[in-house]
Amino acid sequence: MMDRMAAGRRIGWLWTGILVIIFAAGGFAYLRQLQEGLGITGMNQDISWGLYIAQFTFLVGIAASAVMLILPYYLHDYKLFGRITLLGEFLAVAAVLMSVTFIIVDLGRPDRAFNVILHASPTSILFWDMVVLTGYLLLNLVIGWSVLESERKGVPPPGWVKPLIYLSIPWAVSIHTVTAFIYAGLPGRGFWLTAIMAPRFLASAFASGPALLVLVCLVLRRYTAFDAGREPLQTLGKIIAYALAASIFFVLMEVFTAFYSGIPSLADHFEYMFHGLEGHGPLVPWMWTSAVLAVAALAVLLVPSLRRNEAWLAAACAAVFVSLWIEKGLGLIVTGFVPSPTGEIGTYVPTVPEIAITLGVWAGGLLVLTLLYRLFTAVKAQMEPRALRAAAKGAGEP
């Protein structure tokens, strides 16, 4: 145990050092973007949203997925999730911070973000997205910190936290629904103009977020004294399987509607993604990779004997995460612009500075998450001896 914890500390510092270097490199690239403008990115007049907005969309889903722990634990009294709900809360905090940062980075100049407040309008989806994201960040910060502080002191959480926890459940659904409305509310973009955009977003969120959480729990078990237990991870595996199945089903519905209707403006987007259109097919290998990973992961998660094997479970969760990062990231964003409403086929390739900034934002978010998880594991390490003493006392031991 001590050897494992010592190795965990070494790897933890190495991990932190790598993140700091990537974060610094991203910061330098962002300074260059501030000086030279968004022209250093691959975005252009035809495709004005790219890697930044793709990360924003995906990460809002990761944030919303915390509800898949909170809802069973607090509404259905599923006690096994009691050890990991805080992991979900803190994951939501880091994911929202990254989402908001990607929006600011995409604006080119950070001061432009104030326009959402200075020119606030109830008819603006972006305004409501800012409201729900800010509120969700505050909710998870307050809830997570209050519960962790109570656990550290060995007392129940204060009574006022419970209503906030219940409020965070519909709030989690709202953040990804409003984000979906940003796309589904654009009448000129046929690929996004679908009533099931919000359900698609939620289904993919409830698969990708828990998948990341399973991987985090396995890493924490290997390198720290914290063990989430096998049963909670198995339950998360089942949740991921059903959510992933729903996500695949929704995509297939979109494909059927596009091709069976015979409307070229709908079918062209899917042809661009999976086959290429008029010689343009930069997303084709990515989208097929995403599709294969999703189907393979679903097959593993649906077979109990494979799901119970944690090596297979980890591989399936990694496949789910990568698959949905592609499908809901650049696959969704770039395809919405290609072809354009006038039939033009634009090109978009992320540039090196753009990738560096993106990695820098991810590194910053992961640094925050690492700090929060270190606090979490430290408190849990304090609690274990206390719980053992209480159990021994209850058993009548001196």
pLDDT at 54 over 70: yes
pLDDT at 396 over 60: no
Range from 7-11, 176-180, 218-222 carrying the lowest mean pLDDT: 7-11
pLDDT at 390 over 70: no
* Torsion angle of the four alpha carbons 273, 360, 43, 198, in this order, in degrees rounded to the nearest 10: 50
Residue 75: pLDDT band (50, 70, 90) is: confident
List, for residues 105-120, the tens digit of each pLDDT value. 999 989 998 888 888 8
pLDDT for position 387:
57
List, for residues 162-206, the tens digit of each pLDDT value. 999 999 999 999 998 999 999 998 888 989 999 999 999 999 999
pLDDT at 389 over 90: no
Mean pLDDT of 16-21: 96
| Residue 42 zone, left/alpha/beta (φ > 0; ψ -120 to 50; rest) | alpha
Helix (H) or strand (E) holding 69: helix 67-70
Nearest to 251 by CA among 291, 289, 297, 301: 291
pLDDT for position 388:
52
pTM of the model: 0.92
pLDDT at 151 over 70: yes
Range from 71-75, 88-92, 145-149, 304-308 carrying the lowest mean pLDDT: 71-75
pLDDT for position 397:
46
Mean pLDDT of 391-397: 50
Q: How far apart are CA 53 and CA 220, in angstroms?
A: 30
CB 107 within 8 A of CB 34: no
Nearest to 33 by CA among 102, 118, 94: 102
**Sequence-ordered list of residues with C-beta below 8 angstroms from that of 102, at least 6 positions apart, any chain:** 52, 53, 55, 56, 59, 358, 361
Beta partners for residue 280, in sequence order: 277
Beta partners for residue 277, in sequence order: 280
Residue 25: pLDDT band (50, 70, 90) is: very high
Amino acid identity for residue 317 in this structure: C
Tokens representing 231 are: 């049963």
What's the chain's average pLDDT? 91
Q: DSSP letter string over 1-61?
A: -HHHHHHHHHHHHHHHHHHHHHHHHHHHHHHHHHHH-GGGSS--SS----HHHHHHHHHHH
